[in-house]
Amino acid sequence: MKEPNIVNLFPLSIYINQVEEHEKWKKFFIDNVYDDYQYDRYKRESDEYNIVSEHCGKPVLHSDERLNGLFKELSDHIKKHCISTLGIRDMFDVCMVKSWLSRSYDNNENLPRHVHSATHLSFVYYMQVPPDANQLVFTTHQHQNELFEAMFDADGHEEEDTWINEFTFESSPHYVIPPEEGMIVVFPSNAAHFTTPTQSTPQTFQTERLAISGDCILVLKEDEPMVHSKGFINPKHWCVY
Ligand SMILES: [Fe+2]
């Protein structure tokens, strides 16, 4: 039998790049901005730590004028992804709506599976990455190649209770991205993801694992004619009541 051709359809595309002048932004942020966005990490009621400031800090880093240059570049990466990867016309602006800190000190501090449900695109910029920092994992519960529910789910099962011999690109429900300092990752906001330890044994990091995460929507540019029935018009026409 000849080897078949396998055609993979309809990808989920994740954009990975480096922030220019990362070292400059890292020093500027830690020296001048970081202290203004501290929050209470410890959750007394559950004896756990808040890893992100999305719900307990000031999740509006993008509105801090000192970070205008950084967020301009982050937005440029998002535009590049939309135009170059997705083939979208250059008719939109990137509207940042939320941005926050992600901080962890050891490999037990992980984010469970979640999506950023309210926006179009999300990003994470890894500002400080110690050795063996927890990894970013994209996952899916609706794998189009999965022929029955949990067929590809080997997590937490004994070796004999799985149908999987070896995960291939076509069957893997996970894709792992090891963070690197200065890296920006852009992804659809509804792409499910979580973080996971690099090492299986408990480990305290040499430095804080620090990232800026954020959510944005695409809006029509101010000078674009409003002739589209889809998508957001420019926010200058929005009213908040
Ligand atoms: Fe997230």
Return d(Cα 77, Cα 186) in angstroms, integer: 8
User: 3-class SS at 52?
Assistant: strand
- For residue 85, the CA-to-ligand 1 centroid distance in Å is 21
The alpha carbon of 2 and the centre of ligand 1 are apart by a number of angstroms equal to: 43
Q: How far is the CA of 116 from the centre of ligand 1 (A)?
A: 6
Please give the distance, rounded to the nearest whole angstrom, from the Cα atom of residue 86 to the centre of ligand 1: 21
Triad 33, 132, 142: Cα angle to 5°: 90
Cα–Cα distance for residue pair 55/50, rounded to 1 Å: 9
> What is the pLDDT, as a whole number, of residue 157?
58
pTM higher than 0.85 for the full model?
yes
Query: What is the reported pLDDT for 102?
Result: 96
- The CA 148 to ligand 1 mean position distance, Å, reads 28
Q: How many angstroms is it from 84 CA to the middle of ligand 1?
A: 24
Q: What is the pLDDT of residue 39?
A: 85
Q: How many CB atoms lie within 10 A of CB 184?
A: 21
Burial of 197 (C-beta count, 10 Å sphere; 0-12/13-18/19+): middle
Question: Ligand 1: distance of its center to the CA of 25 in Å?
Answer: 22
Rounded Cα distance, 15 and 73, in Å: 14
CATH number of 15-141+178-237: 2.60.120.620
Residue stretches of the chain with pLDDT short of 50: none
